[in-house]
Amino acid sequence: MLAVAALLVVRLKNLFTVAMVTGIYSLLSAAFFTLLDAVDVAFTEAAVGAGVSTVLMLGTLSLVGHQQKEHKTVQLVPLVIVTITGLLLMYGILDIPPFGESDNPIHHHETTVHYLEESGHETGMPNVVTSILASYRGYDTMGETTVIFTAMVGVLLLMSGRKGKGSDCGEGDRNGR
């Protein structure tokens, strides 16, 4: 279902439909994370991906319109930038140790062993990741939530400032000009 939603996002021309399918993709991702027992990641995906992002996309569409404009020429600069970025990211993962190996460096720190063995007793939460984010790193999590909320308020304020200027947004005035 995730693959179908991703293909729909790429193929559709109506931007309102794309925004809705993107929200559905985020909800499907949140459900997938829940099945993997990553409830904290699922909550973030549902709140930010399906919630805030969809609202911001719909707000943007109210300013720019719902139909994608047809481009007659292929734009090479964005394609080159995306290709170079992808190649750099693939080069960067060559140094990552194999997934799941017991001798990976992350498994040899005392903090990791302490979290895995003691977090259930110290915090009372059965999920280690949730106990780390909610208890040990509670201030960090609160800070991240504050940053996301502040960004959302800033974008909404910026969008509300342009709402009254219909002629600047390409919509024309009431007389059709």
Instruction: Give yes or no for residue 75 having a pLDDT over 50.
Output: yes
Are the C-beta atoms of 39 and 9 separated by less than 8 Å? no
Of residues 169 and 22, the one with the higher pLDDT is: 22
d(CA 64, CA 57): 10
Average pLDDT over residues 71-99: 87
Average pLDDT over residues 114-123: 84
The CATH classification number of 1-69 equals 1.20.120.1200
The predicted model scores a pTM of: 0.51
Q: What is the pLDDT of residue 167?
A: 46
Q: How many residues does the chain have?
A: 177
d(CA 101, CA 135): 28
Average pLDDT over residues 135-139: 76
Of residues 99 and 87, the one with the higher pLDDT is: 87
Instruction: Give yes or no for residue 52 having a pLDDT over 90.
Output: no
Q: Which residues are CB-neighbours of 140 under 8 A, at least 6 positions away?
A: 133
Residues of the chain with CATH 1.20.120.1200: 1-69
Tokens 């302490």, residue? 114
Return the top range by mean pLDDT from 57-61, 68-72, 101-105.
57-61
Residue 25: pLDDT band with limits 50, 70, 90? very high
Q: What is the pLDDT of residue 82?
A: 92
Average pLDDT over residues 96-109: 79
